[in-house]
């Protein structure tokens, strides 16, 4: 059974008239209630991350700035990134949820988890918030998997329409966290060219698949399948983490690569195949972008239902 992490507290991060708004999760929750997904999963709430957990990835000055900005009523950290009085608490809980999901998945062979959290994380740098993101949830999860569970090969797959520049930057010279990103190019934030492959000990552990607007859906899927299979063979991961952004959907108002909802089932299957091949199915996904409320809700439901169906198939096969 899939572990689903969700909590109404994530809607307390108020952003005003902004694409990354509480209504995103409200829309997803309504869709999952209508499709009865909550009844098909083990549902968990959230817990705040310990500061030391966050500091594995972020600087003390960054953590202090997030805390101070919330205490003073919120405000803008950059032209895109907004905080309210509750934002620091919500961001700590998003990071804590990431850590808790990793602990759950690594505690039982084959277990998988989906984390419906906000604010998103993949643009957040070690010392700076950016692009709607306060703490880099998936980077914190990867660092925790290494520090608390002794892993030395973690694969992050990012299919958000925007390049996960924060995640790439944090692990660019690391050598133990592999980063694969498929994204629209050229596009915000301007990083993610094919020549960005890592440096030092991390040389070869970053794989960018930049795709131009107008690519056909079939070409998109084929490109991802081929590149991810090759990169996963090199990484041989002990855990797979997915930055599951849904703003490559054709209806998205600030992204789009022309994908339809069902294309996220294909992406989910590809990442699940990697997890099954190399690490007994261990996979955790984290909500990133997706700003058309209906398309986001349908796409998250598609992602989750694909994992549920595949988990049932695997359980049935194992019992025969």
Active centre residues (catalytic): 123
13 strand-pairing partners: none
- What is the C-alpha separation between 210 and 136, in angstroms, rounded? 21
Q: Which of 177, 191, 105, 113 is nearest to 140 (CA)?
A: 177
Strand order in the sheet with 239-244: 41-44, 2-5, 112-115, 283-287, 239-244, 154-158, 177-184, 206-211
Q: Residue 181: CB partners within 8 Å, gap ≥ 6?
A: 157, 158, 159, 163, 164, 167, 168, 192, 207, 208, 209
Q: What six digits make up the tokens of 179?
A: 């980063």
Helix (H, G, I), strand (E, B) or coil at 183: strand
């Amino acid at each position: 059974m899939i572990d689903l992490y969700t909590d109404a507290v994530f809607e307390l991060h108020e952003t005003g008239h902004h694409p990354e708004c509480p209504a995103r999760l409200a829309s997803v929750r309504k869709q999952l209630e209508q499709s009865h997904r909550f009844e098909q999963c083990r549902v968990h709430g959230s817990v705040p991350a310990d500061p030391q957990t966050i500091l594995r990835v972020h600087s003390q000055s960054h953590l202090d700035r997030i805390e101070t900005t919330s205490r003073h009523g919120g405000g803008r950290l950059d032209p895109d990134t907004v905080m309210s009085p509750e934002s620091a608490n919500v961001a700590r809980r998003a990071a804590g949820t990431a850590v808790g999901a990793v602990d759950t998945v690594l505690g039982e062979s084959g277990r998988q988890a989906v984390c419906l959290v906000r604010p998103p994380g993949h643009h957040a740098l070690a010392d700076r918030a950016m692009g709607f993101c306060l703490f880099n949830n998936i980077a914190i999860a990867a660092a925790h998997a290494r520090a608390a569970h002794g892993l030395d090969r973690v694969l992050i797959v990012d299919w958000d329409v925007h390049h996960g520049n924060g995640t790439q930057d944090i692990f660019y010279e690391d050598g133990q966290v592999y980063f694969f990103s498929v994204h629209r190019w050229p596009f915000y934030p301007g990083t993610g060219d094919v020549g960005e492959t890592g440096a030092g000990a991390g040389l070869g552990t970053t794989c960018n698949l930049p795709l131009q607007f107008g690519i056909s859906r079939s070409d998109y899927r084929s490109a991802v399948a081929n590149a991810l299979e090759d990169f996963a063979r090199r990484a041989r991961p002990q855990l797979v983490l997915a930055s599951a952004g849904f703003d490559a959907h054709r209806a998205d108002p600030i992204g789009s690569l022309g994908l339809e909802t069902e294309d996220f089932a294909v992406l989910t299957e590809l990442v699940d195949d990697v997890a099954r091949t190399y690490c007994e199915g261990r996979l955790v996904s984290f909500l990133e972008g997706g700003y058309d409320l209906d398309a986001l809700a349908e796409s998250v439901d598609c992602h989750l239902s694909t994992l549920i169906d595949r988990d049932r198939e695997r359980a049935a096969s194992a019992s025969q």
